[in-house]
Amino acid sequence: MIFVPTGLLPKQACPGLAQVGNLMTTYPFQNPSLSTSKRIADLLGRMTLAEKIGQMTQIEKNSLTPELVAKYALGSVLSGGGGYPKTGNTPQDWVNMIGEFQKAALETRLGIPLIYGVDAVHGHNNLHGAVIFPHNIGLGAAGDLDLVKKIGRFTAHELLATNVHWNFAPAVSVPQDIRWGRTYEGYSENSDLVAELGAAYVCGLQSSGVSASVKHFVGDGGTRWGSTHPIPWIPRMWQADDDRWCMDQGVTDVDETTLREVHLRPYAAAIAAGAKNIMVSYSSWNGLKMHGHHYLLTDVLKGEMGFEGFLISDFLAINQLHEDYRTCVVQAINAGLDMVMVPFDAAQFIDTLTAAVEDGAVPLSRIDDAVRRILLVKFEFGLFERPFADPALYTEIGSETHRAAAREAVQKSLVLLKNDNMLPLSRDTSTLLMAGEAANDIGLQCGGWTIEWQGKSGAVTTGSTLFQGVFEKMGGDVAYSPIADFTPGAVAEVGIVAIAEKPYAEGEGDNGNLALTAEQIALIHKVRPHCNKLLLVIYSGRPLIITEQLEMCDAVVAAWLPGSEGAAISDVLFGDVPFTGKLSFSWPRSMSQVPLSALISSGEPPLFPFGHGLETC
């Protein structure tokens, strides 16, 4: 049972009667029996300009107090990557933190609830103990729509239990260059598969009462390598000067036909599935940053595609439009942006936009349109009636039911790249050894966006590892050394090497060389003489260059970033569950076949084509 602190209970006592401020009122917008359109019209007609602009403002929780929420009548608060409560990272800490912000919102003149957003991109991944599902690249390899819907539902349950009603997911990016550090957030290089799985996730998440935020509109998966450059008026807060941040937030150099065919179609599918929020991309197209792109945001998305929901900016993204902040605000709002992830200085944004409306640079009609769209989401997702955590869902956080779904996702996501009469393994194997720190490291198997923004190695959360799974299958008869420090001359029947990319997120993962590291190659060479048969298991957020190492291994498995339930890999290795996963990205044989356009123009086959995946009985 979860205990909502005293004073954080909803004020509404019955339909049509609620306390707003210190007065009991019966405003029509408080009546859930009325149509959403009537409730919006009534509430919008009662709002001042300050209250409207407050609804358009989203601030990161570390730059905020409940008092500021009330002062500015803010519409939204977010946790960035790793944005768990300062008091701790338990479900109750989340309930308390968000509840205090929500209480402040409900005590404003009109009592409009705020909507709290997080990047729960593979489960409620900021919360310790939540189930961490495979990243999207693994779900793309699984290709199971019903499973993705289930993952969406279960993620929503864990979010709602902690007071979160808005998830900045799914990414419906269509990565065309696996050097991109966000490749693993994309289901596939294929637009059709992305559209199907993205829509399935939207359906699952929203069927349980959490709003999706489909991202990043549009073309973020098509940016050109080397097209990201420092913006002179923006301090480099985290970006490095090497290959990192070399294409993330860059330029999508394609014609409009390609933009529509490759990158826009998944948004149409998401909208058809009921998406009411879309996050705008940092990237540029046709000479304009997307956050200032009136043609794509308003003419195409809201006009041609009939999108009725609201557009949210990305973190600090409007600041990239111009060195003058007022110009940034005016251009972004007039282009069609409805809510701004400011994310630090509420007063600066609110004062700037207020002045722009008062002097006519931003029409009041644009403000009203933005607020109408924001209120639509808040009404449709029941925030006025249910603004707080759902205590009935508390027991689902990290539950066995959710972990079973995650294990199923791991099993179905594994792609058997090579198998020379090695798999499935037998429990009767006489001797088995394992090497590689990745074999027993939850942080490495989860990757980025796990507890911390960039993720990290180690026991970052609860779960199980490949080593634990194999250890159980073998009844404990496993020799394991992270660095392959085995007895000289000892030879096992079976050897398993697990390697992993270092966790990363966003542009920190941009990488111009996807070959295995010298240490990883040395580990494979070190283990090879110690076993008759060698299995290589790869944790990665994208295909890696393994052409030379392939010949050294009897079997190779792409395990992607499987999340918290790593032991489920052993179920497939030992044949309890068959291999069924198929590559949702082409696997190049060398960097000369990267990006995808280079592979196509080369006329040479990849190491493994899109759709490849051996099966076992």
Contact present, 217 and 284 (Cβ < 8 Å): no
- Where is the domain boundary, 364, 395, 426? 395
- Average pLDDT of the chain, as a whole number: 95
The partner residues of 481 in beta bridges, in order of sequence, read 435
Does residue 369 share a domain with residue 438? Answer: no
Q: Is 430 exposed, middle or buried (0-12, 13-18, 19+ CB in 10 A)?
A: exposed
pLDDT tens per residue, range 287-344: 999 999 999 999 999 999 999 999 999 999 999 999 999 999 999 999 999 999 999 9
Does residue 461 share a domain with residue 316? Answer: no
Hey, what amino acid is at 545? I
pLDDT band at 239 (very low <50, low <70, confident <90, very high): low
Q: Which domain range does residue 490 map to?
A: 414-602
Higher pLDDT, 236 or 40: 40
> Can you tell me the mean pLDDT for 159-164?
98
Q: Is residue 617 part of a domain?
A: no
The partner residues of 20 in beta bridges, in order of sequence, read 23
> Can you tell me the mean pLDDT for 4-27?
44
What is the C-alpha separation between 267 and 556, in angstroms, rounded? 35
Q: Is residue 71 part of a domain?
A: no
Predicted local confidence at residue 242, as pLDDT: 77
> Can you tell me the mean pLDDT for 70-93?
97
User: Is a pLDDT exceeding 70 seen at residue 262?
Assistant: yes
Buried b (16+ CB within 10 A) or exposed e, 515-537: bbeeebbebbebbeebbebbbbb
Contact present, 438 and 500 (Cβ < 8 Å): yes
The partner residues of 115 in beta bridges, in order of sequence, read 76
User: Is a pLDDT exceeding 90 seen at residue 16?
Assistant: no
What is the C-alpha separation between 294 and 291, in angstroms, rounded? 8
Does residue 509 share a domain with residue 381? Answer: no
Query: Which one-letter DSSP state was computed for residue 540?
Result: -
SS3 per-residue string spanning 80-113: CCCCCCCCCCCHHHHHHHHHHHHHHHHCCCCCCC
What is the C-alpha separation between 228 and 483, in angstroms, rounded? 37
- Where is the domain boundary, 344, 367, 395? 395
Q: Which two tokens stand for residue 149?
A: 């819907």
Residues in the chain: 617
Predicted local confidence at residue 617, as pLDDT: 73
User: Is a pLDDT exceeding 70 seen at residue 13?
Assistant: no
User: Do the bridges between strand 23-25 and strand 18-20 make them parallel or antiparallel, or are there none, so unpaired?
Assistant: antiparallel
User: Is a pLDDT exceeding 70 seen at residue 24?
Assistant: no
> Can you tell me the mean pLDDT for 409-416?
99
Q: Is residue 231 part of a domain?
A: yes
Q: Is residue 406 part of a domain?
A: no
User: Is a pLDDT exceeding 70 seen at residue 241?
Assistant: no
3-state DSSP assignment of residue 532? strand
Does residue 236 share a domain with residue 320? Answer: yes
Does residue 263 share a domain with residue 211? Answer: yes
Whether 107 is a known active-site residue: answer no
CA angle 333, 42, 17 (to 5 degrees): 125
Does residue 380 share a domain with residue 529? Answer: no
Contact present, 606 and 599 (Cβ < 8 Å): yes
Does residue 501 share a domain with residue 355? Answer: no
pLDDT band at 4 (very low <50, low <70, confident <90, very high): very low
Catalytic residue among 390, 506, 510, 565: 506
Does residue 327 share a domain with residue 226? Answer: yes
Whether 261 is a known active-site residue: answer no
What is the C-alpha separation between 29 and 575, in angstroms, rounded? 58
Which contiguous run of DSSP H or E holds residue 493?
strand 492-500
What is the C-alpha separation between 348 and 58, in angstroms, rounded? 12
What is the C-alpha separation between 285 and 273, in angstroms, rounded? 26
Higher pLDDT, 343 or 19: 343
Does residue 355 share a domain with residue 268? Answer: yes
**Residue 343: which CATH number?**
3.20.20.300
What is the C-alpha separation between 492 and 431, in angstroms, rounded? 5
Q: Is residue 350 part of a domain?
A: yes
Q: Which of 564, 567, 607 minimizes the C-alpha distance to 587?
A: 607
Contact present, 318 and 362 (Cβ < 8 Å): no
Contact present, 314 and 337 (Cβ < 8 Å): no
Q: Which two tokens stand for residue 387?
A: 């603004």
Q: Is residue 55 part of a domain?
A: no
**Residue 548: which CATH number?**
3.40.50.1700
> Can you tell me the mean pLDDT for 463-488?
98
Does residue 561 share a domain with residue 431? Answer: yes
| Ordered DSSP codes for 28-54 | GGG-TTS-HHHHHHHHHHH--HHHHHH
Other CB atoms within 10 A of residue 123 CB: 29
Cα torsion 507, 150, 569, 404: sign: positive
Contact present, 212 and 482 (Cβ < 8 Å): no
Catalytic residue among 144, 185, 314, 396: 314
Instruction: Provide the whole-model pTM.
Output: 0.96
3-state DSSP assignment of residue 105? helix
Does residue 461 share a domain with residue 590? Answer: yes
Q: Indicate the range of 118-132, 147-161, 239-253 predicted with least confidence.
A: 239-253
Does residue 369 share a domain with residue 484? Answer: no
Number of domains in the chain: 2
Q: Is residue 286 part of a domain?
A: yes
